[in-house]
Amino acid sequence: MRGSAPLHSLRERFAPLQSLARFVHDGFSGKDRPVNIKLLFCITAVNSPEKGALTESRIQDLMILVTRYFIHADLDAFYASVEQLDNADYRGKPVIVGGLPGDRRTVVSTASYEARSYGVHSAMPIARACELCPQGVFLRGNMKRYKEKSREVMGIFSEFTPDLRQISIDEAFLDITGTEGLFGPPAELARKLKSAVRERTGLTVSVGLASNKYVAKIASGMSKPDGCFVVEKGGEENFMRSLPVDRIWGAGRKAQEKFKKYGYKTCDDIYKISEQRLCSVFGKAFGIFLYRAVRGQAAASFDDIRGSRSISAEHTFDYDMYDGFAVETALMKICNTLMYRLLDLDWQSRTVFIKIRYEDFSTESAQETSEHPVGTMSDLFERVCALFHRKCKRGIGIRLIGAGLMNLETAGSSAGELFEFEDERKKKLEKCIHEINKKFPEAAIKKARLI
Chain residues in the site for Mg ion (CB under 5 A): 74-75, 170
Judged by CB, which is closer to Mg ion: 165, or 449?
165
295 in Cβ contact with 271 (< 8 Å)? yes
Q: Kindly state the smallest distance separating residue 356's Cβ from Mg ion, in Å.
A: 29
CA 102, CA 281: separation in Å to the nearest integer?
44
Whether residue 188 lies in the annotated active site: no
CA angle 222, 158, 247 (to 5 degrees): 20
Q: Kindly state the smallest distance separating residue 171's Cβ from Mg ion, in Å.
A: 6
Judged by CB, which is closer to Mg ion: 74, or 175?
74
- Please report, for residues 203, 253, 299, 382, the alpha-carbon distance to residue 179 in angstroms, rounded to integers and kept in the order given: 24, 38, 24, 40
Q: Kindly state the smallest distance separating residue 73's Cβ from Mg ion, in Å.
A: 9
Give 230's strand partners: 209
In the set 114, 171, 180, 236, the catalytic residue is: 171
Q: Kindly state the smallest distance separating residue 78's Cβ from Mg ion, in Å.
A: 5
Q: Is the dihedral of CA 56, 58, 63, 64 positive or negative?
A: positive
Dihedral angle computed from the Cα positions of residues 155, 156, 162 and 164, in that order, rounded to the nearest 10 degrees:
-80
Q: Kindly state the smallest distance separating residue 110's Cβ from Mg ion, in Å.
A: 8
Judged by CB, which is closer to Mg ion: 81, or 337?
81
Q: What is the helix (H) or strand (E) element at residue 269, kind and residue range?
A: helix 267-271
Q: Kindly state the smallest distance separating residue 113's Cβ from Mg ion, in Å.
A: 12
- Please report, for residues 16, 17, 144, 154, 164, the alpha-carbon distance to residue 158 in angstroms, rounded to integers and kept in the order given: 31, 29, 21, 6, 6
- Pairing mode of beta strands 351-358, 363-369: antiparallel
125 cis-preceded (ω within 30 degrees of 0): no
Backbone angles phi, psi at 367, to 5 degrees: -140, 160
Q: Kindly state the smallest distance separating residue 111's Cβ from Mg ion, in Å.
A: 12
CA 167, CA 170: separation in Å to the nearest integer?
8
Judged by CB, which is closer to Mg ion: 75, or 356?
75
Judged by CB, which is closer to Mg ion: 146, or 317?
146
- Pairing mode of beta strands 311-321, 363-369: unpaired
Task: List, in sequence order, every beta strand (DSSP E) within 60-119.
Answer: 70-75, 95-97, 110-111
CA 104, CA 342: separation in Å to the nearest integer?
53
Q: Kindly state the smallest distance separating residue 167's Cβ from Mg ion, in Å.
A: 11
Judged by CB, which is closer to Mg ion: 20, or 75?
75
Judged by CB, which is closer to Mg ion: 145, or 258?
145
Adjacency order of strands within the sheet including 137-139: 110-111, 95-97, 137-139
Q: Coil, strand, or helix at residue 298?
A: coil
92 in Cβ contact with 120 (< 8 Å)? no
Judged by CB, which is closer to Mg ion: 179, or 220?
220
Active site residues: 171
